[in-house]
Homo-oligomer: A and B are copies of this chain.
Amino acid sequence: MGNKYEKIVALRREFHRCAETGWLEFETTIKIIKYLMSFGYEVKYGKEIHGERIGLPDNDIIEKHRDTISTDADFDVSEILDGYTGAVAILDTHRDGPVIALRFDIDANGIEESNDKDHRANMEGFASKNPNAMHACGHDGHIALGLAVAEQLAKEKHHLSGKYMLIFQPAEEGVRGAKSIVESGILRDADYLVSGHIGLGAEENEVVCGTIGFLATSKLDIYFEGKPAHAGANPEIGKNALLAASICALNLHTLTQFGSGMSRLNVGILKAGTARNIVPHKAFMEIETRGENEDINRLLLQKVHHVIEGSAKSFDVKYRVVEAGGAPAYNSYPEDFIDGLAEILKKKGMKVTIGKSLGASEDITYMMNEVEKNGGKSVYLMFGTKLAAPHHNNRFDFDESVLSLAYEAYLEIIRSLL
C-alpha cells in the first residue's frame, strides 16, 4: 500500500506541525473539515456536535490563540474559533446496514517540543510550529488514520451499506472532549463504535483487540477565596486561603486506601498568595482522582468533597469546585464480539492479543458506555510500535509503519461489521 502509506505519513506530519491543545484545535479542525469535504462527506461541526464542554482554557488564552489563526475557509468557522472544535463526518449509503462510528482524537499536549537536533521532527522538518504544544501522544497519527479511512470509505461508498460516522474528537488529553460529543446525542443510534490508540501498553507490532482496565477518573479545579490583610499589622482580620489549600492538599492525599481496589489521587498544582507580607486570600489547585471501578472513584470523590468543604470551613474561606475533565470506567466487555474481531485480524497475519489492560484513563469510555447502553457494541484497539521516548515526553515519536498496521486493522474491522 506504498502510496497510501506515504499519504498517511504526510498527513501525520502535517498535523504534527500544527499541534494544538484541547479546545484550541482551531487550525486542526479547519484542516480536517476541508479534507473531509474534499472527500465528499457531509460534515457536522461547531455547536451541533457538542453538549457541555468541560475543562475549557481561560478566555484570554482562547483569544490569544485565535489571533494566530489565518482562516480562509469557505464555511463558517466562528463557532470553531470559540472552542467548539472537532468534527463529525457522515457517510450515509442509504442502504440497509449498521451505523458504524469511528473515533479519532485530535488534540496535542501542552509540552514544548524538544529542539534536540537528533529528534526526528527536527531532522525532517515537521516539528510543532506552536510554542508549548506538541503531539506527544500520537493523536497526529490518529487524525491521519481517520482521514485515510474516510477517504477510502468514500471511494468504496457504492459497495458499502449502512451509515458511517467518523468522529474527530477534541480535548482527549485531560479527558474532556468525549463527554461533550456524547451529550450532543450524535452517538445515540450507533450500532458499533471502533477506536484505538498508537503505542500505550501494546508491544511492538502487537494489536490489542478489546482493551480493558480503563480507570474511572475525575479532574477538578478548586478555588479558595479568603480575605487579604497586612501580615504584620492585623493578621487576625485575614482569611488565609493558602493554609486552607495546604491543608486540603494534605488531607486529600490521605484518602486513597480502598480495600475494594486501586485508587489514586494527585494534587498536581497548587498556587496561592499575592505577596510576601499579605495574608494570602486566593488559592487554586488542580487535582485528579482515579478508581479501578466506578464505585471507588465515586466514593473517593465524596471524600474529596468533604475534605474541600472542611478545609475551607477551617479557615473560614469560600471555595468553588469546577469539573475540569473526567471519564467513567468501562465495565462492559462484549466477549464474543471482541473474539470475532480478533479472529479476523489474526487471519490477516496480525499479532493479536485479546483483553489487555490499559491501567489508565481515556474518555472513549464515555462513548463506549453510551453505545453499549443503547444495545451497541464497541472495541478499543492498541497498536504496538517502537517509541523514541515515552508518551508525553518532549522527544516522543513513533515508528510510522504502525500507521499501515492500524489502517489495515480499521478497514478489516469495518468490513467485517457489514
Give me the interface of A with B, judged by CB distance under 8 Å. 110, 174, 215, 219, 231-236, 240, 242-243, 245-247, 249-251, 253-254, 256-260, 262, 264-280, 286-288, 290, 296, 299, 303, 306-307, 309-316, 324, 359-361
Assess the A272–B269 pair: CB atoms within 8 A. yes
Assess the A306–B314 pair: CB atoms within 8 A. yes
Contacts of A110 in B (CB 8 A): 275
A301 to B357, CA, bound (A): 29
Minimal beta-carbon separation of A84 from chain B (angstroms): 23
Find A311's partner among B274, B299, B314 (CB 8 Å cutoff). Answer: B314
Find A269's partner among B265, B266, B273 (CB 8 Å cutoff). Answer: B273
Given contacts A219-B276, A250-B243, contact A268 B314 (CB under 8 A): no
Find A275's partner among B253, B269, B314 (CB 8 Å cutoff). Answer: B269
Assess the A256–B257 pair: CB atoms within 8 A. yes
Smallest Cβ-Cβ distance to A284: which chain B residue: B271
Minimal beta-carbon separation of A255 from chain B (angstroms): 9
Given contacts A264-B231, A276-B268, A310-B315, contact A253 B259 (CB under 8 A): no
Find A271's partner among B219, B251, B270, B299 (CB 8 Å cutoff). Answer: B270
A245 to B242, CA, bound (A): 11
Contacts of A324 in B (CB 8 A): 276
A285 to B314, CA, bound (A): 17
A250 to B314, CA, bound (A): 11
Given contacts A215-B232, A254-B254, contact A268 B280 (CB under 8 A): yes
Given contacts A246-B249, A269-B276, A276-B287, contact A235 B259 (CB under 8 A): yes
Assess the B242–A249 pair: CB atoms within 8 A. yes
Q: Identify 10 new A-B residue pairs, CB closer than 8 A, beyond the known A235-B264, A236-B296.
A: A232-B290, A242-B249, A250-B254, A251-B314, A266-B279, A268-B277, A269-B272, A269-B273, A270-B273, A306-B316
Assess the A361–B270 pair: CB atoms within 8 A. no
Contacts of A262 in B (CB 8 A): 262
A286 to B243, CA, bound (A): 14
Minimal beta-carbon separation of A408 from chain B (angstroms): 30
Given contacts A303-B316, A312-B310, contact A259 B273 (CB under 8 A): no
Contacts of A253 in B (CB 8 A): 240, 243, 253-254
Contacts of A219 in B (CB 8 A): 276
Assess the A315–B311 pair: CB atoms within 8 A. no
A280 to B270, CA, bound (A): 9
A245 to B249, CA, bound (A): 10
Given contacts A246-B246, A254-B253, contact A277 B288 (CB under 8 A): yes
A313 to B313, CA, bound (A): 8
A253 to B244, CA, bound (A): 12
